């Protein structure tokens, strides 16, 4: 049982996922906050999709990197998230861990099992904090709540 859990815990390439997000960071469009964010989401299929934050002169029209990455995956027919990594910082400098906002956590919830979905807050391939959606969004509301009698 313990060994099974271990295999599940290490069954994806963290460095590759982080690399994909870091490589995307230059595309962030954040002329108003100057806070650049990129996300790479790994789906159960093994495919990775990326996204960046895209701001707007009409501020509320802006969207976060995580939701762009997830929307990208869903548009390609994928609906089960395995893990996501987020990188970012002021002017694109990766000096601190960038946590997902509340709205993004709720969107992650739509397409994952909270206890199984891994969230990697990363500065680099060698410097990241790994957590789960369950830890960042406890007692969450999800699709099952709407179909329960
Ligand atoms: N941002 C993200 O892209 N993801 C988050 O989870 C936190 C915030 C973006 C939104 C906005 O463009 C900028 O960072 C400052 O809030």
Task: Give the residue extent of every domain in the chain.
Answer: 3-136
- The CATH number of the structural domain formed by 3-136 is 3.40.140.10
What is the pTM assigned to this prediction?
Answer: 0.93
Let me know how long the chain is.
149
What pLDDT, in 10s, does the model give residues 47-62? Answer: 999 999 999 999 999 9
- 8 Cα to the center of ligand 1, angstroms: 30
pLDDT over threshold 90, residue 39: yes
Residue 1 pLDDT exceeds 50: no
Which residue, among 136, 50, 42, has the nearest Cα to 80 in the 3D structure? 42
Average pLDDT for 81-86: 98
Structure tokens at 82: 């395995």
The CA distance from 43 to 73, in Å, is 8
Asked whether residue 20 carries a pLDDT value surpassing 70, the answer given is yes
The question of whether 66 is a catalytic residue gets the answer yes
Task: Take atom 13 of ligand 1 and give the residue whose Cα is closest.
Answer: 35
Band (pLDDT 50/70/90 cuts) for residue 122 is: very high
- Mean local confidence (pLDDT), 125-149: 95
| Atom of ligand 1 at shortest range from CA of 99 | 6
Catalytic residue (choose from 44, 66, 116, 144): 66
Hunting for tokens 């990363």 — which residue is that? 122
Q: What are the distances in angstroms from CA 2 to CA 7, 48, 116?
A: 9, 28, 16
């Amino acid at each position: 049982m313990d060994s099974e859990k271990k295999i599940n815990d290490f069954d994806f390439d963290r460095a590759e996922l982080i690399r994909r997000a870091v490589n995307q960071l230059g595309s962030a469009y954040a002329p108003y906050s100057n806070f650049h964010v990129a996300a790479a989401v790994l789906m159960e299929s093994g495919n990775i999709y990326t996204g960046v934050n895209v701001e707007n002169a009409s501020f509320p029209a802006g969207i976060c990197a995580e939701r762009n990455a997830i929307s990208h995956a869903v548009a390609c027919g994928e609906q089960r998230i395995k893990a996501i990594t987020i990188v970012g910082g002021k002017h694109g400098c990766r000096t601190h861990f960038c946590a997902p906002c509340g709205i993004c956590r709720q969107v992650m919830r739509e397409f994952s099992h909270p206890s199984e979905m891994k969230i990697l807050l990363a500065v680099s391939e060698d410097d990241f904090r790994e957590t789960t959606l369950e830890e960042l969004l406890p007692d969450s509301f999800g699709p099952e709540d709407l179909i329960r009698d």
